[in-house]
């Protein structure tokens, strides 16, 4: 065996061992169970020509300014450089029209999402979410024995806010993802304000805006500026293309954020912090990327309309496709064509989620779609 062969053999084995130990850990660690792993898009080694449109990632990656900032800071990575975290946090606060102490930086938004659920729900303070919805908060709630109440989306695929508020007089957290994951649909601003005006006393609205930059919807952070009872989650994993680099924030009244701080500790990744700050300062990034991803999405939707497909029109970087058989079989059929689409939600067993990739990747998706659906 050549040394390169040996190396790749070694890395294959150690990768296998690590995967096994991770799976072993899955038995014990609540956040790393099977659906969590699937959600972390660990779908195993893929063929080199695979199309990976399963995890709502952004194939554009970080913008040029972010990449440049990251390259130039790498050699200083022996230091914590907390000032870069403060600088990111201040920039975000300024852009959102908030005082600096209304922003708590994190390595992505999963971390503050979990913390908010741990801090604000308990066995007698349920976690209320839309169905189908993003499952991470539900798993955090289940870990501490909090009741989870899933409220079906309404016929327009919006959160049914009246039913969510009515679901429990003791709600701890009402979680709204806007635009929603997996449907990519918007819950109108008036409904979000209605939740804040009518939710049970002592509860918070957890407004997950992971995908908001892909839509033209107004951010919820002006409601934070008005000191309402909500925490908004920001991430740089989606439009900003930094999922692997890790940056995000919880945005809320300082007294609400204070309850999140003790569930973890440690410095944040310098690379993520400088990349996020540089992204925020890139003048046309959000508009340009919204258009690039939106154009690809609209092209796929034209194709789907033309072929009378059943799908949910989305304003985000993913959509739900329906067929007559279990969604899992659709996932397998696409995988056989080397197209790796997303997962299935129990509430909608005949749908599967598809993320928007590059135009080239979506062309391959369309070819596979025609073959699988026989159109």
Residues that bind ligand PLP (CB under 6 A): 56, 108-110, 113, 134, 177, 181, 208, 210, 235, 237, 243, 248
Residue 127 CA to residue 150 CA, distance in Å, equals 8
Helices 327-336 & 359-373 angle (0-180, nearest 10):
110
> Which residue, 146 or 183, is less far from ligand PLP as judged by CB?
183
> Which residue, 242 or 270, is less far from ligand PLP as judged by CB?
242
Task: Fill in the DSSP letter of residue 125.
Answer: B
Minimum Å distance from CB 238 to ligand PLP?
A: 7
Minimum Å distance from CB 208 to ligand PLP?
A: 5
Residue 139 CA to residue 194 CA, distance in Å, equals 26
> Which residue, 55 or 333, is less far from ligand PLP as judged by CB?
55
Minimum Å distance from CB 286 to ligand PLP?
A: 16
> Which residue, 134 or 365, is less far from ligand PLP as judged by CB?
134
Residue 320 CA to residue 348 CA, distance in Å, equals 9
| C-alpha distance from residue 209 to each of 43, 134, 177, 216, 332 (Å) | 26, 12, 6, 12, 30
> Which residue, 109 or 279, is less far from ligand PLP as judged by CB?
109
Name which of 156, 157, 187, 185 is nearest 174 in CA terms: 187
Residue 178 CA to residue 158 CA, distance in Å, equals 9
Minimum Å distance from CB 53 to ligand PLP?
A: 13
| C-alpha distance from residue 291 to each of 53, 280, 287 (Å) | 19, 17, 6
| C-alpha distance from residue 15 to each of 9, 22, 257, 320 (Å) | 10, 10, 38, 32
> Which residue, 278 or 333, is less far from ligand PLP as judged by CB?
278
Half-sphere exposure of 269 (CA within 13 A, CB side): 15
Minimum Å distance from CB 130 to ligand PLP?
A: 11
Q: Which two tokens stand for residue 160?
A: 């049914």
Residue 111 CA to residue 89 CA, distance in Å, equals 16
Helices 270-281 & 82-95 angle (0-180, nearest 10):
30
Minimum Å distance from CB 241 to ligand PLP?
A: 11
Minimum Å distance from CB 210 to ligand PLP?
A: 4
Number of other CB atoms surrounding residue 326 within 10 Å? 14
> Which residue, 116 or 300, is less far from ligand PLP as judged by CB?
116
Name which of 233, 166, 181 is nearest 206 in CA terms: 233
Minimum Å distance from CB 223 to ligand PLP?
A: 18
> Which residue, 55 or 224, is less far from ligand PLP as judged by CB?
55
């Amino acid at each position: 065996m050549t040394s390169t062969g040996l190396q790749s053999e070694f890395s294959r084995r150690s990768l296998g061992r690590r995967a096994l130990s991770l799976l072993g850990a899955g038995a014990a660690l609540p956040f790393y169970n099977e659906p969590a792993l699937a959600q972390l898009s660990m779908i195993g080694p893929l063929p080199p020509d695979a199309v990976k449109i399963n995890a709502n990632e952004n194939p554009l990656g970080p913008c040029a300014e972010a990449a440049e900032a990251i390259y130039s800071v790498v050699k200083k990575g022996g230091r914590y450089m907390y000032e870069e975290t403060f600088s990111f946090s201040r920039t975000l606060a300024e852009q959102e029209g908030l005082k600096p102490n209304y922003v708590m930086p994190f390595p992505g938004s999963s971390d503050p999402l979990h913390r908010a659920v741990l801090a604000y729900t308990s066995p007698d303070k349920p976690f209320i979410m839309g169905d189908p919805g993003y499952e991470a908060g539900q798993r955090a709630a289940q870990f501490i024995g909090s009741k989870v109440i899933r409220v079906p989306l309404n016929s327009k695929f919006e959160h049914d806010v009246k039913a969510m508020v009515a679901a429990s007089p003791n709600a701890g957290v009402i979680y709204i993802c806007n635009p929603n994951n997996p449907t990519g649909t918007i819950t109108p601003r008036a409904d979000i304000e209605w939740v804040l005006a009518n939710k049970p006393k002592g509860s918070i609205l957890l407004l997950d805006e992971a995908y908001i930059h892909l839509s033209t919807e107004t951010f919820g952070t002006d409601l934070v500026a008005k000191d309402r009872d909500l925490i908004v989650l920001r991430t740089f994993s989606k439009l900003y293309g930094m999922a692997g680099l890790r940056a995000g924030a919880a945005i809320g009244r300082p007294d609400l954020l204070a309850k999140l701080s003790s569930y973890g500790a440690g410095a944040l990744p310098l690379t993520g912090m400088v990349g996020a700050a540089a992204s925020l300062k890139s003048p046309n990034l959000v508009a340009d990327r919204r258009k690039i991803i939106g154009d690809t999405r609209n092209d796929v939707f034209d194709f789907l309309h033309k072929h009378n497909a059943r799908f949910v029109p989305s304003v985000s970087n993913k959509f739900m496709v329906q067929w007559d058989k279990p969604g899992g079989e659709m996932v397998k059929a696409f995988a056989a064509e080397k197209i790796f689409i997303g997962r299935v939600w129990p509430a909608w067993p005949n749908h599967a989620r598809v993320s928007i990739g590059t135009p080239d990747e979506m062309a391959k998706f369309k070819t596979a779609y025609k073959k699988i659906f026989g159109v």
